[in-house]
Structure 1
């Protein structure tokens, strides 16, 4: 239990800090929809406000509903993490990535009503939807989580 908590805190604090810092910087220093080319034809920094979840999904839904669902998902993962007998470092690390990314986006939704997305990858005219560090944390965490679970099946 103590090991799980140490890993959770060790992942949670840096992800939350850097994600919120980057969102604050983009929100205050880059105009909405402004693009800054980092690697021509491949990567931009762009300021996009996302009222939905991944790829703008659920943007037509109440922000309160999104906040409640996100909070319930975070609580379910925390419950699973501390109640499961599985204690592999990969499972704990992956769960911690999901929790911290989801929590950071949850804070943004609560205090701003939206999430700031700013990472814009593309190949010429083909764009991947913009995302942020918290989104990356959730995606990487989810992939690692499934890898860690497959080991026990």
Structure 2
């Protein structure tokens, strides 16, 4: 991959301020994944389904804070790490909403400990930009493309 490639994250909706996270089993290596890039000032695009059908890039996100990949022993510890690092008066997820999240419910049923990575980003609307490669994302939820430049 070229250094000019842009990261795109598959998303189910976006807001001006957002929190994203991933949980996975120890030993699993998510690929592709912006391991070296994911830190404050990292910029990526958000892709989601659009009403016209298919998927499009709809927002640009810039990371403002993050939780480095770490081992957590329970869903509660994962929530607490995110809350302590990324939440403030402008952005929070109540514990009951965290538990009700479909992704977290699926991950909660898996064996623990798990690895956690999380980030907070400021977003701005762009596009929508429809690209053919957006129809199929890797399991990691991240895609690299040289077809769109920041």
Higher fraction of strand: 2
Greater RCO (CA < 8 Å, at least 6 residues apart)? 2
More helix by share: 1
TM-score with structure 2 length normalisation? 0.24
**What TM-score do you get using the length of structure 1 for normalisation?**
0.24
